[in-house]
Every structure is written in C-alpha cells, then in structure tokens.
Amino acid sequence: MTTEAPTGEAAPQASSIGSEQPPSGDAPGQQRGKAAFVKLLRRLSEANVFVVTVLAIFSALVLGAILILVTTPAVLHSWGRIGSRPGAAFSTSWRTIAAAYSAMFEGSLFAPSAISHAVSTGHGWTTALTPISETLVSATPLILAGTGVAIGFSTGVFNIGAQGQLIAGALGALFVGFEVHAPIGVHLPLVILGGAAGGAIAGFIPGVLKARTGAHEVITTIMLNYVFLDLLTYLLTTAPFQQPGQANAISRTMPSTAILPHLFGSTLRVNVGLLVALAVSLGAAWFTRRSTAGFSFRVIGLNPSAGRTAGMDVRRITILVLTLSGALAGLAGMATLSGTDFFLSTGYGGNIGFDAITVALLGRNRPLGVLLGSLLFAALITGGRYMQAYTGVDLDLTTVIQAIIVFFVATPALVREVFRLRDQGEGPTRILTKGWGG
Amino acid sequence: MKLELCGIRKTFGRLVANDDVDLTVEKGEIHCLLGENGAGKSTLMNVLFGLLRPDSGEIRLDGEPVRFANPGEAVRRGIGMVHQHFMLVPVFTVAENIVLGFEPTRALGWFNRKKANADIVRLSQEFGLDVSPDAIVEDLPVGVQQRVEILKALYRDARLLILDEPTSVLTPQETLALFAVMRSLATSGRSILFITHKLKEVLAVADRITVMRLGRVVGTTTPETADEKELASMMVGRSVELVVQKAPASPRATVLELRGLVVEDDRGLRVVDGVDLDVHAGEIVAIAGVQGNGQTELAEAIAGLRPIAAGTVRLDGRDLSSASPRDAIRAGIAHVPEDRQTDGLVLALSVADNLVLDIYDLAPFARHGSRDLATVKSNAGEKLADFDIRASDAEVPVATLSGGNQQKVILARELSRPIKLLLASQPTRGLDVGSIEYVHERIVAERDKGVAVLIISSELDEVLALGDRIAVMYRGRFTGFCDPSTGREQIGLMMAGVLDESAALAAGAAEGADPASSVTLSRGSVHP
Ligand SMILES: Nc1ncnc2c1ncn2[C@@H]1O[C@H](COP(=O)(O)OP(=O)(O)OP(=O)(O)O)[C@@H](O)[C@H]1O
Ligand SMILES: [Mg+2]
C-alpha cells in the first residue's frame, strides 16, 4: 500500500504535458479557454484518486441496481412477460430502482418533500433533518477509529485492533463516568480523556510488544480484540462495572454529566461527539502534513532504514503510533457510549472497529479522505436501513454495495480498465524495488 | 541482434529526458552509452525495454519496427535488461529468481525445480557465470546478485543485453570477470548495451561509444580514437579535472578517535576486529579495501547504527561508543551511507523532504513541532542550484531523479549543516566525472574548513585522489597506513592481504597469505 504513494504524488507532474499554449493562433482569451478545457479533459481522463473513487461508487451503484432487479419478484415477473408487454418490464425495473435509491437517499440525507414542507410551514424540521442527523451519528465513531487506523497504516503499522481498542476506550470512559463526580464542564472532558486513555493503553501493549520483541502487530492486535471482548463480558458481570441490582451482563449507565450534549435540540441525536471527530480529523490532517512527528511517522512508514539512518527512533515511533491509533479508536468507543448508548453490553461496538479499517482504505489513509469515506459509509448504512423498511430491498444489499465500492477503490487498475482511463502512473515507480544504489 | 533506435523522444512534464535520440547497436557489438547524470540513459533503456512509452520515435530489431507495451513483450523479442537498481526477490533462491515468470513445470503446473537447477547450471557453465542455484539471493554479495540478473536475462534467451551501470557496485576483480562474460556473449553473437560512468572501463571493453548529454546524442566514437579526457569533455561539455587539485593537509586536533574497536555483523561474526584510528581536523583519511572487509560495519558503528562489541568511539573527546544514530548526528557526524536507496533516501518523498531528512525537526525547518514547509522548499531551491541536482522541481519524488542525482541529494543534505566529521561510504558511486570532480572539491573544501573527513571507498582512484592518509583494511583490520604517493600496486597488494606491515612485524601471522581469497571475498566471510 505504501509503495503506491509515489504514483499518486507524481500525478500533477505528468498531467502538465501538452498543457502549454501553442505559440500562435486565435485570440489569446479563446486560446486560454481552450487550453484550460483540454487540461480539464485530460485531468478527468486520468486515473487519479478522486476520479477512481467517484467511478468506484458509480460502478457499485450500477451493480447494486442490477442486484435489486434480479432479486425483486415483481421485476422478474414483468420480464417474464416481456413479449406481451415490453414497456411494462422497463417501467417496472425503472420504478423499482428509483424507489430503492431514492429511499436510500431520503433515509440518509433528507427527503425534499419534508424539507419543502418544513420551509413553507416552519414545522417539521426535526423530521426533515433526522436522516442526516442519524448519518452524522453513525459517521462519528467511524471517523475517529478510521483516522486512527489510517495513521497506523501510513506509518506501516497494521493496526487491526481498533475493535478491541474501541472497547477499552468505552470502558475507560465508563469508568471515569461513574467514578468521578463533577459538574459537566469538568466531568465531560475527563470522560473524553478516559476514553482516549483506555484506547491508548490497548494500543500501547502491541506497540511495546512489537518494539521490544518484534511480535507482529497484525497478530497481537487481532488477538487483543478477543481479549478485550472477553474482558468486557467479564467486567459486565462484576462490580464496579455491572449495573447494581442487575443479573444481566449490562453496565452501569452514564450519569448526565458524562453525556455528550446534543447539538440541535433533544430530538436530533447528533451530538458533541461529531465535533470531537471533526477536530480529530482536522488535527490529524495537520499532524500528518505539517508536524515534525507526523513527518517522522511517514518516513518510518515508507523506509524505516532510511529513517533510522537519519536519526529517527523506529521503536519509539512504533510504540507512539500504536498508542495514538489506539487512543483514537478509544475515542470512538467513548463517542458511541456517551453520545448514543449510555451503557455497555456484551459484544459492544458491533462492527465499527472493522469498518474503520475499510474507511481508512477508502480514504487512502489520508485524514480528510477518511472523513469523506466515513460519511459515505454511514450514509449507506442509515439509507440502507430506510430502504429496507420502505421498499423491502434487503439491508444486505447495502453491505454488498459497500463491499463493491471498496473492491473497486482497492483495485484502481480494474477501474482504469473498465473506464479506459489513461494510465498516469508510468515511470520509475514501477521499477522501484530494493536495489544497491548503483 | 541488430538494434536501431530512431528519433526517440520522451518527456516528463516539461522535462525532456530523451530528445530525438538515434542509436544503432550492431550484432555482436559491445556498445557503451556514456553520459552525465540525468542525461537520459536509463530513460532510453526503459523505453527500449517497454517500461516507458516514448512520445515519438521508432525501435527496430533486425530492421523490423517493434513496439513494446510492457517489458514482457520486450523479453519475448529477445531483449534482456539488468537494471541500475536490481530487481530480484531477496527471499527467493537464485534459481527461483532466474526462472520467475518462465518456470519449467511438470504436469498440472507443478514447479520443476530439478529442471530449473539443471538449466541454470548449464547456462552458468556456458558463460562462466558462477552461481549456486539454491542460494538465497539476499545472502549473496552484489557481484553475485548481478550474475543472477545476467543469467535471468540469458535464461529468457536475450539476444540484446542492456547493462545499466553494472560495475558501480563491483570490485575491480568482479568487474574484470564481468568483462570476460560480456566478451564471450558478444562472441556468441549477442549485442550488449553497456552503461557506465567509468571511462577506463569504456576504453577497455567497448567496440563503439555513444555519448549523451541533456537528452541528446552528442557523438559516437571508438576507443581507438578517443581518450579519457576527450570522453569526459564530450560528456560534460567542458574540460574536466580527473584528479582533484588540493593543497597539502594541515591536520589539527584529533576529532575521531577509535580504540580497539570490535564490531560484529548481523550473524555475530567479528567483522571489525580491534581497529585503532585517529582522524584529525583538517585531514582526509581514506580507507581502501575490497568491499566486504568490514568497512561497512565500521562506518555503521561510528554512525551509531550498529552496536559496538568492544572498544571506544570518541568524537572531540566525547564518548560516543553507545550513541544512537541521532546522538551521532547531533554530535556533528555527517554520514553518507553506502546504499543510497535503502539507507539514504525515502524514495517516495519529495526531493525537498529528502534534503532535510535528518534535520527536519530543527530550526529553521521546524518550530514547536510544526514544519516550516516554505523554508524546506526554499532550502531545496538553493541546494538544487548549489549541487547542480537535475530535477524538474523540488516537489517531485526523489525516485524520479537519475541515480547520480539521487546521490547528490544525500551529499547536499549532509554537507549543508555544521559538522565535525564527514563519514562517507562510496561517496561518488554512480556519479559522472563532472559530478565526481565537484563532490571531490566539496569534500576538500570541508577539510579546509577544519572538518575531519573519513572516506571509505573501494575505488582506488578515489582513495588516491582524496586521501591525505590512506588506511588499508583487510579482514576487519588495518593492514597498513600509507600516504598517497605509495604506488597503486603496493596498495593493491595490501588490499588483497598479501602485503601486511604489522603481520610481517609480528612474524608468522597466518592470515592473508592467499591473494585469491580477496577476489571471492564476500561480506561477512571474515573471521568465522
Ligand atoms: N518518472 C519520471 N518523472 C519525472 N522525471 C523523470 C522520471 N524519470 C526520469 N526523470 C528525469 O529524466 C532525466 C533523465 O533521467 P535518467 O534516469 O534517464 O538519467 P541517467 O542518464 O540514467 O542518469 P544517471 O547516470 O544518473 O543514472 C532526469 O532528469 C530525471 O530526473
Ligand atoms: Mg541511470
């Protein structure tokens, strides 16, 4: 994955070929307009990251539409009678797809009718904004954990343990939640720190193991996922974590001073956790691009022996990266606990820790890419639920669409082939293998 | 096979790497391609090999126009290439690397290892390329890895072999062996395109010579009609001093002090075996020796990259025996590592970032943990101009620079901060004569500023040109110190371990009596 980097970065270079103006010709303004247009066409026909991603989403939606068609009985029925009523087959197909995808849109962003109703009457804003609020709520932990995973990946550290770190973070936040008693202005920041600390500890362990013993982080973090999952199950049946007076494996509930306040009134669930996620995302973007530590992380990710020769401490950085990565996953656990769930139960966190890996890949390990990837993923999930409820198209289809998007994004060569894009990545990057510097 | 390249043009953005290049290689000819760093030699070869698509121009093989979309097609038409930076799979065996992609198989596609090994043994005997098919590539010295690359091409039945700077990593003995192989290949009717910066080699082995500069062919000549000086000025476009002019050294206080230094390699063998050395401010000490006699490990130990088993390293009286690489850098040691692509550069990062790789966190390049990218960029602009680094822009990945220009990036970085000791391993590997002249001047200038300089080089010419004092290293020990007026032959013998002052004094020391051993000497074969 890291070897891909130069291709992407070399892109703007190659794209300037031929964009210079011809020496003479028509009016200069017209010339410039034409040149700019040619340049734009070139850009679009090149397989850069952005174009590939957009085309991947497009392809996934097309394949998803085909799946909807072949799994909807009414559509199959109408195609069965294509001979007698050809128009009906097409119109039924079209209606089915349109209904499914507009349900997905309305369920994840907004329904135009609800918005216009709210604008004209001044009422019903809550209903109109609920879908987008839900999307933002689902995106919050993905942004946090995904950014953590991405920082690891771009440093060459494959943290597969976001799930366990998320649980550790939730436990940390919960502990601070019920152990500390303070006004919200003090308590809530401590809860947030507790979440980060829990995740950081869970990341620190594989970090130290790797730096001191060379144990590979993929193995240790995967195994630690099970450790934290079972630790949670155990803690949920023991004091002080278990809800007093409960026989079930359910934790105590977060007190009101430890809860992330809603941003837009009590009925929309979008909460301060989103602001934390946005701050982390911006912070991570600054960190990777501008900070000295972020630079050393990148160097170690790309070429550890050059980093070592330049005086960077590879072990220290490995520990730091895993700790930081864990802390962000821990914040994700805090955000779901203090933002929407308020207590923990067995198997907490669902699939967030693994979806985080996917959005990190989708966002090409860049913080702002992860942010966009998380929003897309969250929209597909909330929209998919709505689609299932209103059109009967199975929620699994959304999962399939997600998978296809990731599949295409991960194989740019395939997208290039399908859409006949020009390959912009030629050059020595292809022949970059380890050599002896002749 | 006869090759004709007609009007080849290749641009990268605004940079014209090949501009209307014509080149003809006859059947059975050894054709040398000569040119300064960034002249476009590797680019031309990559075009020929199907790795790059030319913007225009035609390739003809035996008169027939061909077009290669990828190296696979070039290989199928009988072209083989040994890259400037090798392309072997380090964890595979020699045999696996050679047959990769063209594996002999049994029924159901099972890999037929026996046949592969037998084929390779036959080929290597036919051309005198000695390798053992079952060795793991990463354990082999570079000279042998190169043989593997050549065998790989021959296994694919190459009738035109491209060798891109094959000798820059070889010892003189290995180079001679390679030339013998090249001649036997040429005699068998194969054509060879040979790229090098070493003019002596060109004159020794070429049938014809083509010189490139700034992407164009500036002329074709033969070894009979041209000499070193002439070739150098054709390449660079001006006359070049082949030996740097320098005043006698005026050594001052001791800067680097090594006492009883013992260093082990990765396998725990003692490859530096009790070395004492003083390097003074204002002098250049050059360590000569056949590669693999402990020089690499010695340099790594001084730079803090390799733990010291016994003895001390002091810099200006300060003990650096257990220093980290960072401590060593901060104490004022500049280190030019031997292997630029593995240890010296981060290929995917920009030229500008690579120019501050070891000072990225210091003012003026950073403040309070935040990098000042404007300063990094303006620094890059200055260094590109100062060191004449040919890059279209400081923001391009350093991987897109030519080999020699990559080396200059490292030198520019290391020589542009206040230092006490300059420790350079093979500082001019892969540089053209003009750049070597420049780098040697810079090194002498550092010396004259009062920096202590320790050069490690397997290039005897370089050692003689630069060293105020020369130490010869053999099997982990210094077998003698001499001054540059000592004859080449004598130093050569010391490098081979034949002549050993200290051993002679100690009477009857058994080591080093076998001159032949130095020829096949590989890294780590010392003092088991
Ligand atoms: N993919 C690329 N993108 C941009 N510039 C490139 C690329 N590949 C090569 N160049 C540029 O083209 C020029 C020619 O490079 P090339 O590697 O062919 O030089 P060379 O003659 O082999 O030099 P050397 O002797 O140093 O190996 C250089 O200026 C180099 O920076
Ligand atoms: Mg080259």
Cβ proximity of B7 and B185 under 8 Å: no
Q: Which residues make Cβ contacts (< 8 Å) with residue A201, sequence separation at least 6? A: A168, A172, A326
- The angle formed by the CA atoms of residues A294, A300 and A305, to the nearest 5 degrees, is 150
Task: For the domain covering A138-383, report its CATH number.
Answer: 1.10.3470
Cβ proximity of A379 and A109 under 8 Å: yes
Residues B400 and B509 in one domain: no
Asked, for residue B337, whether it belongs to a domain, the answer is no
Whether A433 and chain B come into contact, CB under 8 Å, resolves to yes
pLDDT of residue A39: 65
- Domain boundary residue among B202, B236, B270? B236
| Interface touch A431/B46, C-beta < 8 Å | yes
> How far is A367 from chain B, CA to nearest CA, in Å?
18
Residue whose CA is closest, atom 25 of ligand 1? Answer: B37
Q: Which uninterrupted H or E stretch holds B366?
A: strand B366-367
Whether A9 and chain B come into contact, CB under 8 Å, resolves to yes
Whether A303 and chain B come into contact, CB under 8 Å, resolves to yes
- Domain boundary residue among B236, B266, B291? B236
Asked, for residue B338, whether it belongs to a domain, the answer is no
| Interface touch B403/A437, C-beta < 8 Å | yes
Nearest to A79 by CA among A92, A89, A93, A68: A89
Q: Tell the residue number behind the tokens 């088993």, with chain if given.
A: B309
Residues B108 and B168 in one domain: yes
Q: Domain segments of chain A: what residues?
A: 138-383
User: What ipTM is given for this predicted complex?
Assistant: 0.80
Q: Give how many domains chain B has, as a whole number.
A: 3
Nearest to A207 by CA among A152, A280, A170: A152
Cβ proximity of B349 and B343 under 8 Å: no
Q: What's the B240 CA to ligand 2 centre distance in angstroms? A: 21
Question: Which of A311, A426, A433 faces B358 most closely, judged by CB atoms?
Answer: A311
Asked, for residue B449, whether it belongs to a domain, the answer is yes
Contact list in A for residue B394 (CB cut-off 8 A) is: none
Q: What is the 3-state secondary structure (H, E, C) of B229-254?
A: HHHHHHHHCCCCCCCCCCCCCCCCCE
Q: Tell the residue number behind the tokens 């047959």, with chain if given.
A: B99
- Domain boundary residue among B236, B265, B282? B236
For B476-483, the CB contacts below 8 A with 24+ separation are: B476/B270, B476/B271, B476/B272, B476/B273, B476/B274, B476/B275, B476/B293, B476/B294, B476/B526, B476/B527, B477/B273, B477/B274, B477/B275, B477/B294, B477/B502, B478/B275, B478/B276, B478/B277, B478/B502, B479/B503, B479/B512
Q: Which residues make Cβ contacts (< 8 Å) with residue B469, sequence separation at least 6? A: B283, B284, B285, B286, B481, B482, B483
Q: What's the B42 CA to ligand 1 centre distance in angstroms? A: 7
Q: Which residues make Cβ contacts (< 8 Å) with residue B385, sequence separation at least 6? A: none
Q: What's the rounded Cα separation, in Å, for the pair A187 and A179?
A: 10
Tens of pLDDT along chain A (438 residues) come to 333 333 333 333 333 333 333 333 444 455 566 666 666 666 555 556 777 888 888 888 888 889 888 888 888 888 888 778 888 888 888 988 899 889 989 999 998 888 899 889 988 888 899 999 999 999 999 999 999 999 999 999 999 999 999 999 999 999 999 999 999 999 999 999 999 999 999 999 999 999 999 899 999 999 999 999 999 999 999 989 999 888 888 999 999 999 999 999 888 999 999 999 999 999 999 999 999 999 999 999 999 999 999 999 999 999 999 999 999 999 999 999 999 999 999 989 989 999 999 999 888 889 999 999 999 999 988 998 898 888 888 888 888 887 887 788 777 777 777 777 665 443 333 322 222 332
Beta bridge partners of B24: B4
Residues B199 and B261 in one domain: no
Q: What is the pLDDT of residues B172-188, one digit of tens each?
A: 777 888 899 899 899 99
Whether A40 and chain B come into contact, CB under 8 Å, resolves to no
Tens of pLDDT along chain B (528 residues) come to 899 999 999 998 888 999 999 999 999 999 999 998 889 999 999 999 999 999 999 999 999 999 898 888 999 999 998 887 778 888 888 888 888 877 787 777 787 888 888 888 888 888 778 888 888 888 887 778 888 888 888 888 899 999 988 887 777 777 888 899 899 899 999 999 999 888 889 999 999 999 999 999 999 999 999 888 889 888 888 887 777 888 888 889 999 999 999 999 888 889 999 999 999 999 999 999 887 889 989 999 999 999 999 999 999 999 999 999 999 999 999 999 988 888 999 999 999 999 999 999 998 999 999 999 999 999 999 999 988 898 888 999 999 998 889 999 999 999 988 999 999 999 988 888 888 888 899 999 999 999 999 999 988 889 999 999 999 998 899 988 888 888 777 887 788 777 655 444 443 333 333 333 333 333 333 343
Ligand nearest to the CA of B435: 1
Asked, for residue B424, whether it belongs to a domain, the answer is yes
Asked, for residue B195, whether it belongs to a domain, the answer is yes
Contact list in B for residue A305 (CB cut-off 8 A) is: 342-343
* CATH number of the structural domain spanning residue B267: 3.40.50.300
Residues B106 and B174 in one domain: yes
Q: What's the rounded Cα separation, in Å, for the pair B49 and B247?
A: 47
Q: What's the B42 CA to ligand 2 centre distance in angstroms? A: 4
Which pTM does this prediction carry?
A: 0.81
Closest-CA residue of A relative to B406 is A437
Ligand nearest to the CA of A428: 1
Distance of alpha carbon A362 from the chain centroid? 7
Ligand 1 atom having least distance to the Cα of B391: 31
Closest-CA residue of B relative to A425 is B52
| Percent of residues, chain B, with pLDDT higher than 90 | 51
Residues B375 and B394 in one domain: yes
| Interface touch B169/A438, C-beta < 8 Å | yes
Q: What's the rounded Cα separation, in Å, for the pair A36 and A436?
A: 43
Longest CA–CA separation in chain B, Å: 73
Work out whether strand B79-82 and strand B160-164 pair parallel, antiparallel, or are unpaired.
Answer: parallel
Q: What's the B402 CA to ligand 1 centre distance in angstroms? A: 4
Q: Which residues make Cβ contacts (< 8 Å) with residue A273, sequence separation at least 6? A: A137, A140, A141, A260, A334, A335, A336, A338, A339
Residues B409 and B512 in one domain: no
Whether A16 and chain B come into contact, CB under 8 Å, resolves to yes
Whether A39 and chain B come into contact, CB under 8 Å, resolves to no
Q: Which uninterrupted H or E stretch holds B83?
A: none
Q: Answer positive or negative: Cα dihedral of A273, A279, A285, A287.
A: negative
Residues B376 and B260 in one domain: no
Residues B87 and B181 in one domain: yes
Residue span of the structural domain in which B449 resides: 241-332+418-528
Nearest to B300 by CA among B327, B329, B332, B335: B335
| Interface touch A295/B360, C-beta < 8 Å | yes
Q: What's the rounded Cα separation, in Å, for the pair A287 and B136?
A: 41
Burial code (b: 16+ CB inside 10 Å, e: under 16) for A136-157 equals: bbbbbbbbbbbbbbbbbbbbbb
Residues B110 and B199 in one domain: yes
3-state class of A143 per DSSP?
A: helix
Residues B140 and B178 in one domain: yes
Contact list in A for residue B198 (CB cut-off 8 A) is: none
Whether A5 and chain B come into contact, CB under 8 Å, resolves to yes
Residues B228 and B355 in one domain: no
Instruction: State which amino acid sits at residue B28.
Output: G
Whether A432 and chain B come into contact, CB under 8 Å, resolves to yes
Pocket test for ligand 1, best of B43, B429, B438 (most atoms within 8 A of CB): B43
| Ligand 1 site, CB within 6 A | A 13, 427-428; B 12, 15, 17, 35, 37-43, 84, 390-392, 396, 400-405
Instruction: State which amino acid sits at residue B335.
Output: H
Pocket test for ligand 1, best of B34, B37, B42 (most atoms within 8 A of CB): B42
Residues B251 and B169 in one domain: no
Q: What's the rounded Cα separation, in Å, for the pair A375 and A136?
A: 7
CA-derived radius of gyration, chain B: 24
Q: What's the rounded Cα separation, in Å, for the pair B402 and B408?
A: 10
Taking each helix axis as running N to C, give the angle between helix A86-108 and helix A125-154, from 0 to 180 degrees, rounded to the nearest 10. Answer: 80
User: What is the DSSP code (8-state) at residue A47?
Assistant: -
Cβ proximity of B388 and B438 under 8 Å: yes
Question: Which of A290, A305, A426 faces B53 most closely, judged by CB atoms?
Answer: A426
Residue whose CA is closest, atom 2 of ligand 1? Answer: B400
Closest-CA residue of B relative to A287 is B370
Residue whose CA is closest, atom 9 of ligand 1? Answer: B400
| Interface touch B13/A17, C-beta < 8 Å | yes
Asked, for residue B230, whether it belongs to a domain, the answer is yes
3-state class of A41 per DSSP?
A: helix
Ligand nearest to the CA of B408: 1
Pocket test for ligand 1, best of A9, A13, A423, A432 (most atoms within 8 A of CB): A13
